[in-house]
Amino acid sequence: MELRDRSAAIVECVPNVSEGLRPDVITRISEAICRAGCVRLLHVDSSADANRTVFTFAGPPDAVGDAAFSMISEAIRLIDMRRHTGAHVRNGAVDVVPFVPIRGVDMDTCVALARALADRVGRELQIPCYLYGEAATMPQRRNLSFLRRGQYEALRDKLSSPGWTPDTGPSEWTSRTAAAGSVQIGARPFLIALNLNLDTRDVRIARRIARSIRTSGVPGTRQRGLFDGLLADGWLMDAYGCAQVTMNVTDFRRAPLHEVFLSCASLARKEGTRVIGSELIGLIPLEALVAAGRGLLAAEDADADTAVDIAVERLGLSSVGPFIKEERIIERLLAE
């Protein structure tokens, strides 16, 4: 599909699937997305250490909903959670399916999409679904970290516990549920997934830095982190030979990328190490990169192209692979 009509309603969907090791499976899930028609698969980002793949596709709301259902159907057929291991927290074969308003739609449209998809998945595929983010039906379920408590391994007990009845789908532990886990379906604003590489393999350092910067701060205390709109943790990425501070920037205006990066660099120096680069998972809005570049230059009037180049260079976005702007900035992809 060519998204040439700028007045067209465009929704983005960014499913995270618990498979990052088998290219053939990832290809078949990609094909399932494209089979739905009228959507464009924008990006596929796999991690072997996380054993996870992030798909990004966009199109008109109804077509995106159909593509998401097709993707879930194929993924649960190919992935068995009873055999899954990986560094990333997860609840199911299709771990999260968020809908994001991009152009000509509002959040209410994405909430309606999420709830309709959850109803269809629960009814037709007999998979337990939890609604999160703006689509949540309970306040505590807005946050993914709440739904992921105990991860997949705790799901069997949670399904039969008070307060954990799925929004749709069965609450019984069957062989189908055991293989698929649960699907978390939601609606949210644009999220930037950014990991910072440290010049150490010590995960404890990465976790201490994460606790200092993330909104929730240090567990068990009233100490909040440095930034609002930021989720963070630390893990080891064997593929890169280093520990990472892994972050979800849920509001890049309250947690500007350059400020987050510079704070992490300062905290790393205090820990006797340094930030040696970064890794973007999925796509990024142009505005976030321009703001980061201008912040790093301390020049609010810097032109957009220069600011983007500075952000890519100084944030180290090409440290683990080439950062191709035409393939990673969502506005440039949608304008093709």
The pLDDT tens digits of the residues spanning 267-279 come to 999 999 999 999 9
Q: Which of these, 131, 255, 146, lies nearest to 192 by C-alpha position?
A: 255
Instruction: Say if residue 322 is exposed, middle or buried (CB neighbours under 10 Å; 0-12, 13-18, 19+).
Output: exposed
Over residues 234-249, the mean pLDDT reads 94
Residues 11, 315: Cα–Cα separation, whole Å: 28
The residue-averaged pLDDT of 106-130 equals 97
Q: Read off the DSSP letter of residue 219.
A: T
Q: What's the chain's average pLDDT? A: 93
pTM of this structure: 0.87
Percent of the chain with pLDDT over 70: 98
Give the pLDDT score at 6. Answer: 44
**What pLDDT shows up at residue 336?**
64
Q: To the nearest 10°, report the CA torsion of 104, 108, 109, 114.
A: 140
Within 13 Å of residue 169, how many CA atoms lie on the same side as its CB? 29
pLDDT of residue 333: 84
User: Given the structure tokens 């499913």, which residue do they identify?
Assistant: 15
pLDDT tens for 89-98 read: 999 999 999 9
* Exposure of 142 in the CB half-sphere (CA atoms within 13 A): 7
Annotated active-site positions, please?
88
Smallest Cα–Cα separation from 225: which of 259, 200, 201, 197?
A: 259
DSSP assignment string, 121-144 = IIIII---EEEEETT-SSGGGGSH
Q: What is the rounded average pLDDT of the residues 100-108? A: 94
The one-letter code for the residue type at 239 is A
Helices (H), 87-202: 107-120, 144-147, 155-159, 175-180
Confidence band (pLDDT; 50, 70, 90) for 36? confident
Average pLDDT of the residues in 113-126:
98
- pLDDT bucket at 4, cuts 50 / 70 / 90: very low
Judging by beta carbons within 10 Å of its beta carbon (0-12, 13-18, 19+), is residue 77 exposed, middle or buried? middle
Residue with tokens 């150490």: 200
Residue 324 half-sphere exposure toward CB, CA atoms < 13 A: 5
Residue-range domains of the chain with CATH: 10-187 (3.30.990.10), 192-334 (3.30.70.670)
Q: What is the mean pLDDT of residues 299-306?
A: 92
Give the pLDDT confidence score for residue 217 in this predicted structure.
86
Residue 1: pLDDT above 60? no
